Copies of this chain bind each other. A is one copy, B any other.
Amino acid sequence: MTPLAALTEGASFITVPVPLGDRAYDILVGRGLIETAGTRIARLGARAAAIVTDEHVGPLYAGLLAGALEAQGLRTSVVTLPPGEATKSYASLERVCDAVLAAKIERGDLVVALGGGVIGDLAGFAAAVARRGVRFVQVPTTLLSQVDSSVGGKTGINSRHGKNLVGAFHQPSLVLADTALLDTLPVREMRAGYAEVAKYGLIDDERFFSWCEANWQGVFAGGPERDEAVAQSCRAKAAVVVRDEHENGDRALLNLGHTFGHALERITAYDSARLVHGEGVAIGLALAFRFSAALGLCPPSDAERVEAHLSAAGLPTRLAHVPGGCGTVDDLLDAMAQDKKVKGGALTFILARGIGQSFIAPGIEADKVRSFLDSELDPSRS
């Protein structure tokens, strides 16, 4: 097989391989990839493709993508769902599976997810279960999905018992991260995705965090820095996924900022008017570093640097920044206790000894969390 990087269609792009044995695939990152998606996807050997998208993204890009696929002789259909987190439901799963089966997608054919993380998670799950598994391609259209949700094979829907509680591990056959698609993304969504970009530096790559501090404006503006940031994030996530595909250990580091973040999402009832996932993560990252500092694990100056950078990029970093408030310390602790990372009463956090030095800290006592949150909620501090 010709290495994908050696092919010459369209503009130049970066290839990030995800070496997962017989489930290995490439992530291509670059501007304009969607225009040449036809040849790349046809090369996977499918005869038909069912595009899954949402009502924001479909009108902008589904025609372009469908045209590119049809031009290569792929029988193409499109199913369009309402945008938003509520779309990650059993009812949508049924709708997408029905559309995939109606489109006579066979085991060799493809489901193509064209959208943000909501569409990627839903369409990937439908691909995992329709005919007990058909292949799928991710064409992520948000920064968050390009740097996070489209990589790693976690797919799923939400349950009344919590987010992402029903799903499958199902790796895509190809990820096309066309960074030009982000030009139409609302800036708030751009920022939310950026919190995950910064997270990769904070986890284990101080150099990348420094690069972010120097180059974040280019990421937002759509210069070559954007492609670099997406590619580097994908490399970071791919490396963790390859070490721990089914999330039994290491992969938990990716949850840096997420224990607090998820609690805030829960408290704001997943109301995106109040808080989107990436905003919760941004506050969570700042809290994880301040908590690490409070525990004497991490220099306070590192926690300050984290907060300063996220703020510069327009992200919230304090509990007080949650529109409508975030309740009491008990509300927060309750919301955290519902998180799946809670085992046997004690809380597991991802903490840090400094920027780029995060680690899994199981068995953090509730008392320590409580007094930290007390100080965070104290208006004299925030």
Contacts and interface: CB of A to CB of B under 8 A. Distances in A.
A167 B101 contact: no
B98 A133 contact: no
A167 B97 CA distance: 11
Given A97-B159, A159-B97, A169 B132 contact: yes
Contact of A165 (B90, B130, B166): B130
Nearest to A102: B161
A93 interface: yes
Contacts of A166: 97, 129-132
Interface in A126-161: 128-133, 154, 156, 159-161
Nearest to A91: B90
A340 interface: yes
A169 B129 contact: no
Interface in A82-119: 90, 93-94, 97-98, 101-102
Contacts of A169: 132-133
Nearest to A126: B166
A246 B102 CA distance: 23
Nearest to A157: B129
A16 interface: no
A162 interface: yes
Given A90-B94, A94-B90, A97-B159, A132 B102 contact: no
Contacts of A165: 97, 101, 130-131
Contact of A129 (B129, B133, B160, B246): B129
Contacts of A90: 90, 93-94
A98 B130 contact: no
A167 B162 CA distance: 22
A251 to B, nearest CB: 12
B129 A167 contact: yes
A343 to B, nearest CB: 8
B162 A101 contact: yes
A161 B160 CA distance: 27
A243 B340 CA distance: 37
Nearest to A97: B166
Contacts of A98: 159-161
A131 B246 CA distance: 11
A350 B252 CA distance: 48
A168 interface: yes
B129 A161 contact: no
A90 B156 CA distance: 15
A159 B101 contact: yes
Contacts of A101: 159, 161-162, 165
Contacts of A128: 168
Nearest to A104: B161
A160 B131 CA distance: 13
Contact of A168 (B129, B154, B160, B162): B129
Interface string A187-225: 000000000000000000000000000000000000000
Nearest to A340: B131
Interface of A: 90, 93-94, 97-98, 101-102, 125, 128-133, 154, 156, 159-162, 165-169, 246, 340
Given A97-B165, A125-B129, 7 more contacts: A90-B94, A97-B159, A101-B162, A129-B166, A129-B167, A132-B167, A132-B168
17 contacts: A90-B94, A97-B165, A98-B160, A101-B159, A101-B161, A101-B162, A101-B165, A102-B161, A129-B156, A129-B166, A129-B168, A130-B166, A131-B165, A131-B166, A132-B154, A132-B167, A133-B246
